Structure 1
Amino acid sequence: MTSSAPSQPVADVLARYALACAARGWHVFPLAPGDKEPPHGVRWTKVATTDPEVIRRIWARRPYNIGIACGPSRLVVIDLDMPKPGEHPPDRWAVPGVNDGADVFAVVCEQAGQPLPLETFHVRTRRGGSHLYFTAPDGIRLTNTSDDRGNGLGWKVDTRGDGGYVVGPGSYVDLPDGTGTYDPIHTPAPAPLPGWLTERLRPAPLPPQKPITVRLATGNRGAYLNTAVTASLTAIADAPQGRRNATLYGAAVALGQLVAGGALDPDDTEQLLTAAAERAGLAPMPSRRTIRSGFRAQHPTPQERPHMTSKPPLQAGSGPETIRVLKAALAQQLLARHLRVRGSLVHMETVSGGQTSPAADEDSPLPVTASPITPATLAGLLAEHAYVYRVRSRRDGNGGTETFEEEITPPRDILASVLA
């Protein structure tokens, strides 16, 4: 008798698995059918939810696999993987009886004088490996590890914590390196992560950090610079594993334009970005190389674009991408004279003849007016305050190529029609 390959589950079965995970307080999001990655364009960190109605609505569309976001779910998952064909243990783990991640984890436990922590939620993965689910410890942020790297546990042993996700039970994956389902084989509530494993996985403390300050201008220009620096540092801190270096490079390119224009000090800005990279888990020397590479990215100088020096440069693609970048700039407070009142964006303008003396009566009208931002006023603000460009290549005079910025800021009437 021959066994047939597992078939892909239907959408309602996957929906029930997703709802069961959510009932445990685990934040779920869709993975592409038959795959381990989210569908194109889905930001899993934003989509992950425990809302049953949202889950039913998502899984009614297609037989999506299930992703579980470990951070908001308060989970640490130990992934005991199987080697691919032809893979063998590295020298450190090349001992009798060690053939896969489960064997390595058993050795790690034995060396620590601890029992295998198997009395917990347990999923058999598509190629015969295991996912062991544990509740995350309080007050300690455990992120992701891989093999022996950093504070990882060993060959074919990965962990997923804050900033990571796992393929959830019930999912069916059909990829060149293996096909199969993720089957729950033991389903108690996840046990607390053992204390000794918490200590093994705890990130090494950073060396004492010296306060780093960046000198900023005052007034509206200083407020814009502060927003730009803060947005770059936040992006680095929030970048998931696998995107941290790219995010650092993007931040260096963005702030590098301000450095090139003389608005930021190059040494201070490099130190600030390096410290942010170290806090995110990146090594200092490679981070400095990435930052300097971003600083060297070719962009016009303020002398080459004198009419643009008062506008925040926003890099975009073309078409709808431009509108997305412009609206993001508004949301990130990169445009002058606007704020949020009772959840709505308003534009602040001075009123001629208004009371300006600090001794004016408190009931006197203020010398400003706040107007709700409509599509038309938003279009005017964006056209006035934002310079949107894309980087293109052209032949230089020596037969080589050079990069240049092509302005693609949409006209006000086009912005108004799109935003309406």
Structure 2
Amino acid sequence: MNDAVPVSVIIVAAGLSRRMGGAKKEFMTLPGGGTVLSRAVEPFVGAVAIQHMVIAVPETDTAFYAAETEKALFASETNRAQLQHKVSFIAGGDTRQKSVHNALEFLAGQGARGVVLIHDGARPFVTGGIVRAVAEKARDSGAACPVIPSVDTLKEIAPDCSLNARPSLLASAAQVHAGIPADTVVVRHLDRASLAAVQTPQGFLFAPLLEAHRKATRNAKTYTDDTEIWSAYVKSSVYTVRGSPDNSKITYPKDVESIPNIGESLRSAPHGALKIGLGYDLHRLVTGRLLVLGGVVIPSAKGEAGHSDGDALLHAVADALLGAAALGDVGSYFPNGDAAWKGADSRDLLRAVLRDIQKARWSIGNIDCVVALEQPKLLPYRNAIRESVAETLEIDAARVFVKAKTGEGIGEVGRGEAVAAWATCLLSDAR
């Protein structure tokens, strides 16, 4: 490609990899050396003359993720040698669109112009040829993306609005779980020959793409990718170049195993270590305090006494994680006598534990909890508690469950004097 045309690169790595069990996929080590992120970036180094690279990292605890992302990027000596003074790490957003917009605004502040290439940090098998082809087509035509033919026959579906529609509870539950709306019918048969799957990197002229993102943000419009934003606001064609079936994105653990020449080496490798942890906590219930469980405030005449906010459930979860990883316990991490933790939000304490779990390269498989409380009933709040715990631990809520028990009038729990919580966790080696 003509080096006179400046090229900026945006790598999107702001997700929390919930579908990978909380182990950030960009940090995974791949057979043959390097991390998912380092392998995703390497082909850009030799294919185009990079003026600046921006990597969008999670907006939660940006400093931590920026440091870890830098380690993953420089697992490649090529990246370290060529990009050390050209790469910046910025906070992304809660959507891919927001992350790209943040990166574009950062680049605008750096005086970026020419072409910008946008690539998924979890797409490690792109080739230099694809990168170069996209950049050249974007330079010449405005916008470009790699595509591959659609393998499956695709159908357009819509809700069944017929009078004789008979919703099936069983079928609906299965469809919703699969991400398909319940009770749908095929409304259009699409011609597979005219369909293609879009990959990254996607390339654009910088200035019009930045303005398109600004308009989309002002209009509060959400789009699936940058080619859609370009088409909506620049109203210019997006040209295609040939992609590759190997240029796949890692989303689920099975995606790694299915990649050609990678899956076999993973299948023959020994399984990572598994660790199980058990945590327990008990707090007296007193008037004048909030009852907080799993980060959720429960309406109650009494709340937990404690040095922090007294969230017995989150303390038990933290204890289970620390025990499984052999890192300590809640008492040693957050001593009662330390003024720094007085009145602390236990979600912040659990996030601090999570960072150490991640630094030790452990991935959370699941969390199972029991709360013993005489009153009030927790069932109406269970889903909110599960969501809160999952959000704090950066995993999917399907990996967290909470059960409620009473003391049947026996002991300090049964007399309404205390709340107790137990938690178990499964950790797996994410290295």
Q: Shared fold by TM > 0.5?
A: no
Normalising by structure 2, we get a TM-score of: 0.26
Work out which of the two has the higher radius of gyration on C-alpha atoms and give 1 or 2.
Answer: 1
Higher relative contact order (CA 8 A, sep 6+): 2
Structure with the higher fraction of residues in strand conformation: 2
